[in-house]
Chains A and B, each alone.
Chain A
Amino acid sequence: MRAASGGLPATLPGAPPRAASLSVRGLDLTYASSRGPVQALQRLSFEVPRGAFVSVLGPSGCGKSTLLKLASGLLRPGAGQIELSGSPVTGPRREVGIVFQQPTLLPWKNVLENVLVPVRAMRGDVPAARERALALLRMVKLDAFARHHPHELSGGMQQRVGIVRALVHDPALLLMDEPFAALDAMTRENMMVELQRIWSTTGKSVLFITHSIPEAVFLSDCVVVLSPRPGRVLQTMEIDLPRPRSLETMGSPRFAALAGALRGTFARMEEA
């Protein structure tokens, strides 16, 4: 196990061209609060290669969600650069799909209409998107619920719809902000496996924010550990577990070693 720094190739073999790379360099963000300026991120730098699954792991309040807003163009950094496949991110980008912590489905629309929300917002081709949406829903086994409303679905089902919604406009980069945090433990495990399946089928690049070490190790090619506020990169760890990974993999000694190393980093964080 090496604490590598970006030891992955720039493009993973077999990645379709519609996956983007994300490059974050020297990111600084300070925001104003009632108690004065707060620095959320400090000289943050890391990479998400094309088609890779990268997790950002950190304690609460380390600026993980802020990072997501920066990557999606919803916020502008105070200093530093963010580039999507080489072009700088200066505002909201259509090549990005976001999955939030709460499913945030529009309660007044049914599942299918919810999935199509990004398409309508972008004034895209709705009939074609509808076909795509139904195919994606079939992929997550929710096609039977296409006409149901969110309040008729469980938390896990709603979150699956949220993921499908993020994929409907075929984004090159998927940003996921602790998407399983609001789910119970059993559902979370199933969703992890499900997400891995979706990712390997669609081949998108993923930036996955989490505070769960097992989740990060299970899902990622590479884990970036963030320090408490102001968030800086403490460690970048390659996860060299073979794919596809299953729940049994979580019991393997290699998994335990990787998770243990990350836990050690966290422990040192607490002492500091």
Chain B
Amino acid sequence: MKEAWKTALASTATLAALVLLWAWAVHAGALDRSVLPPPQEVAAAMKAGLVDGTLHPHILATGRAALAGLAIGVGLGVAAGALIALVPLLEAFLLPLVTAVQSVPKVALAPLIVAYLGFGAASKVFTAAMLAFFPAFIAAVAGLRGADRSHLDLLRVCGASALHTLWNVRLPAAAPYLLASLQVAVVFSLIGVVVSEFIAATEGLGYVIKARSQELDVSMMFAAIVVLCAMGVAGGLLVRIAQRRLVFWVRS
């Protein structure tokens, strides 16, 4: 417990020092107001955005698209992984390509997706799904493949069907990997939505950041960024809770 207190104290001291430095720098004129507004202005913008509701529609737009993209991307990723587990032959055909694609920044496709699907939610969801697919797929393949040999042998001796084995042994064995990949997928899907909103959108937190940058409204940009942070952290927290409830047998 002593350690935790020491850390909390030290970190708070650092953060406080940074904020004070910030306030002083602006006050002393070392930084131009348009570059970095004083902390009070940022706080005011956050209040306007969150409490008064100016950011609400944007939060909803980004949040909904990210959630949809996450669901679709992860769903497809797990399904594709299950397919490879059921038809092991496919692995040699698909996995090396997916591995190669890992080194490619897939967000580069975002402009093309916007060109095809337009300014609305569709392109955001598509981009998010595309990014969320890969961590889920790779985790699914590794997890489904990595089921305990003895469990598989046991079911084989009992004459279990491939589907039965998939549902009863492979999928639960893959659950820890899948949930871990979900942490990553949450972040990626947010990134996908934000980048899509940068390119072309009419609402959303990414849109706010981009639009406000043109008005030099740094305070509102900060506010939007903070909300994005919070969304990412909240998503991660939810996944961790899910991990503890669903994958109760893994001690980590």
Contacts and interface: CB of A to CB of B under 8 A. Distances in A.
Direct contact between A and B judged by beta carbons closer than 8 A: yes
Nearest to B147: A106
Interface of B: 148, 150-151, 153-160, 164-165, 168-169, 172, 175, 247-251
Contacts of A98: 153-154, 157
A104 B151 contact: yes
Interface string A63-76: 00000010011100
B104 to A, nearest CB: 33
A104 B150 contact: yes
B161 to A, nearest CB: 8
A107 interface: yes
B83 to A, nearest CB: 22
Interface size class of A (residues with CB under 8 A): 20 to 34
Interface stretch (A32-40, A116-124, A184-192, A243-251): A116-124
Given A121-B160, A122-B160, A151-B251, A104 B148 contact: yes
Most chain A beta carbons < 10 A, residue from B155, B247, B251:
B155
Given A104-B150, A121-B165, 10 more contacts: A69-B153, A74-B156, A92-B158, A93-B157, A94-B158, A106-B168, A108-B175, A108-B247, A108-B248, A121-B159
B249 A108 contact: yes
Interface on chain A toward B: helix, strand, loop, or mixed SS? loop
Given A149-B249, A151-B249, A122 B159 contact: yes
Contact of B157 (A92, A107, A108, A151): A92
A204 interface: no
A121 B158 contact: yes
Contacts of B247: 108
A102 interface: yes
Nearest to A107: B249
Most chain B beta carbons < 10 A, residue from A72, A94, A106, A149:
A106
A93 B169 CA distance: 20
A117 B168 contact: yes
Nearest to A113: B168
Contacts of B165: 121
A216 B7 CA distance: 58
A150 to B, nearest CB: 7
A111 interface: no
28 contacts: A72-B153, A74-B153, A74-B157, A94-B159, A96-B157, A98-B157, A100-B153, A102-B150, A104-B148, A104-B151, A104-B154, A106-B168, A107-B249, A107-B250, A108-B175, A108-B247, A117-B158, A118-B154, A118-B158, A121-B155, A121-B158, A121-B164, A122-B158, A122-B160, A150-B249, A151-B249, A151-B251, A169-B158
Interface string A137-150: 00000000000011
A201 to B, nearest CB: 23
A92 B151 contact: no
A72 B151 contact: no
Nearest to A118: B158
B154 A117 contact: yes
Contact of B172 (A94, A106, A120): A106
A110 to B, nearest CB: 11
Contacts of A69: 153
A73 B249 CA distance: 31
Contacts of B153: 69, 72, 74, 98, 100
A100 B159 contact: no
B151 A106 contact: yes
Contacts of B250: 107
Interface in A125-147: none
